[in-house]
């Protein structure tokens, strides 16, 4: 589907109806996981008339009640996925601090949004991604001034949503009856022309291929690599944990003032940092998302039961961590940095999103990269399912997965590693960081965020489609 915003809804609906008629007998895609990524993929496939089913292990839709940040790359991906999805996001998300440009500023644009406003380096006058503060300064929180700002550049779409509420929105956009809840995956068998999914309740399902969107603790990933003891089957502990909570905005304003509560802020410090950002439209229901990160020097989490990524903690635990140090976190940060997958697919099994590249959250881009994944995969599947005279849909789907892997894996795995580095930078654990190096830190952060936000999704899709055509042509000649 073209990402052009000028295409009319009527034309899109006509294309969708034709596609549904043509593809009704083709093998469907089995999506495992109905979280943010799985639900978004379902919306994308439905928009393109691609038959699919979604299997979710939980008995009902479930997401943590925390804030979720997106950048302009995610917004561009949403426009490719489904223009209605993009419109909904732009309507319900909390935008970044929208400060007016300075009088006489020279504005430079690229695509849909501002790249830079002028040559000044502190970000004043631009929308702000995050204001960075010295959390070790002996100043009351509401009086503390930022040591530098990172502007929200590279287009529209910088914003945040309430994770659980956003999932409700996505569920409302999915086809009725497409999700089966209470389906905990037990195994996958790849047969000659199909795959067989086996669930713990004793039932089975057939599909042309499986896409694992089942998150950090992905069962599909474990099966794909050959078992739970294989490299890449399990995420590893990143060495950090966090406390998090949602605070009523009125209470936050009382504590730190309206100006500080109204803009995304990051308090830096030795081995610890705190992130806050507003979630929801201004009003009585608006919240401030707070996440307090701690470097676990004793690697205490590895001695716990890592089947669970969260443990109970008290207010006293958190205060102890941010005054004296020590273990007591509630949310262990796990990723695939130490055991990256050599391939995102095997045969007709593919993993995307956190199932493929689980990352720590320090770029605020994990969910955005999941949206990129969906945009590329849906575009490739649209091309493959749209090919007339496709002799073997199952073989064609493997070509799709190969082209997808070539398009996405390097970029996705860069995020995993760069996110770890970003956290160490915020906590002054790297050379040339800390009180004497704020300018170096700002430049490093801006450079990395530019990689996150500045991706040309249209060009990425074009290249992935060309790769798929090349693979299909080689298979046909062979």
Give, as one character, the DSSP assignment of residue 302: G
In contact, 424 and 269? CB cutoff 8 Å: no
Hey, which residues are catalytic here? 244
> What residues pair up with 11 in beta bridges, in sequence order?
none
As a whole number of angstroms, the distance between CA 394 and CA 229 comes to: 29
DSSP codes of every residue in 38-63: HHHHHHHHHHTT--EEEEESSSS---
**Of 100, 109, 112, the residue nearest 157 (C-alpha):** 112
* Contact call for residues 48 and 19 (beta carbons, < 8 A): yes
Residues 105, 120: Cα–Cα separation, whole Å:
10
How many other CB atoms are found less than 10 A from the CB of residue 452? 24
Strands (E), 96-251: 108-110, 113-116, 128-134, 148-151, 159-162, 179-181, 185-190, 195-199, 204-207, 209-212, 236-248
Instruction: Name the DSSP class of 200.
Output: T
**Cα distance between residue 72 and residue 68, in whole Å:** 14
Cα 357 to Cα 164, 408, 427, 472: the distances in Å are 22, 10, 23, 27
Structure tokens, 460: 């990425």
Q: 């940092």: which residue's tokens?
A: 273
Question: Distance of alpha carbon 218 from its chain centroid, rounded?
Answer: 15
Assigned token pair, 276 = 């806050």
- CA–CA gap between residue 86 and residue 107 (Å, rounded): 25
- What does the DSSP assignment read for 332-401? EEEESSSS--S-SEETTEEE-THHHH---STTS-HHHHHHHHHHHHHHHHHHHHH-TT-S-HHHHHHHHH
CA distance 159 to 375: 19
In the chain, the largest separation of any two C-alpha atoms, in whole Å, equals: 71
């Amino acid at each position: 589907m073209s990402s052009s915003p000028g295409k009319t809804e009527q034309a899109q609906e006509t294309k969708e109806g034709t596609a549904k008629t043509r593809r009704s007998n083709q093998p469907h895609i089995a999506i495992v996981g109905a979280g943010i990524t799985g639900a978004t993929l379902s919306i994308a496939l439905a928009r393109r008339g691609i038959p699919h089913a979604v299997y979710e292990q939980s008995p009902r839709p479930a997401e943590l009640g925390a804030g979720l940040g997106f950048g302009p790359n995610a917004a561009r991906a949403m426009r490719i996925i489904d223009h209605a999805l993009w419109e909904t996001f732009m309507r319900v998300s909390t935008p970044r601090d929208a400060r007016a440009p300075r009088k006489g500023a020279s504005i430079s644009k690229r695509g849909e949004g501002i790249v830079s406003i002028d040559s000044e380096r502190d970000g004043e006058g631009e929308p702000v991604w995050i204001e960075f503060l010295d959390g070790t300064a002996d100043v009351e929180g509401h009086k503390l001034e930022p040591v530098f700002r990172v502007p929200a550049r590279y287009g529209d779409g910088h914003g945040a949503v309430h994770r659980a509420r956003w999932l409700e929105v996505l569920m409302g956009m999915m086809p009725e009856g497409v999700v089966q809840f209470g389906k905990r995956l037990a195994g996958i068998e790849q047969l000659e022309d199909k795959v067989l999914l086996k669930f713990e309740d004793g039932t089975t399902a057939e599909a042309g291929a499986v896409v694992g969107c089942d998150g950090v603790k992905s069962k599909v990933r474990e099966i794909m690599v050959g078992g739970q003891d294989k490299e890449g089957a399990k995420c590893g502990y990143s060495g950090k944990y966090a406390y998090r909570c949602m605070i009523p905005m009125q209470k936050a304003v009382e504590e730190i003032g309206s100006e500080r509560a109204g803009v995304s802020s990051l308090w830096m410090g030795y081995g610890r940092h705190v992130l806050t950002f507003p979630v929801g439209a201004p009003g009585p229901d608006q919240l401030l998302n707070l996440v307090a990160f701690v470097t676990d020097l004793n690697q205490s989490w590895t001695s716990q039961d890592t089947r669970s990524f969260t443990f109970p903690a008290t207010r006293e635990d958190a205060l102890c961590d941010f005054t004296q140090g020590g273990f007591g976190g509630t949310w262990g940060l796990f990723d695939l940095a130490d055991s990256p997958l050599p391939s995102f697919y095997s045969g007709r099994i593919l993993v995307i999103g956190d199932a493929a590249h689980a990352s720590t959250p320090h770029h605020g881009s994990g969910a955005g990269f999941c949206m990129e994944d969906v945009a590329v995969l849906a575009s490739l599947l649209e091309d493959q399912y749209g090919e007339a005279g496709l002799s073997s849909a199952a073989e064609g789907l493997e070509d799709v997965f190969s082209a997808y892997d070539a398009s996405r894996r390097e970029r996705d795995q860069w995020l995993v590693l760069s996110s770890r580095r970003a956290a160490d930078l915020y906590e002054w654990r790297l050379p040339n960081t800390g009180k004497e190096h704020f300018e170096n830190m700002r430049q490093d952060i801006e450079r990395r965020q530019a990689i996150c936000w500045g991706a040309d999704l249209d060009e990425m899709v074009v290249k992935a489609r060309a790769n798929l055509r090349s693979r299909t042509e080689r298979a046909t000649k062979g």
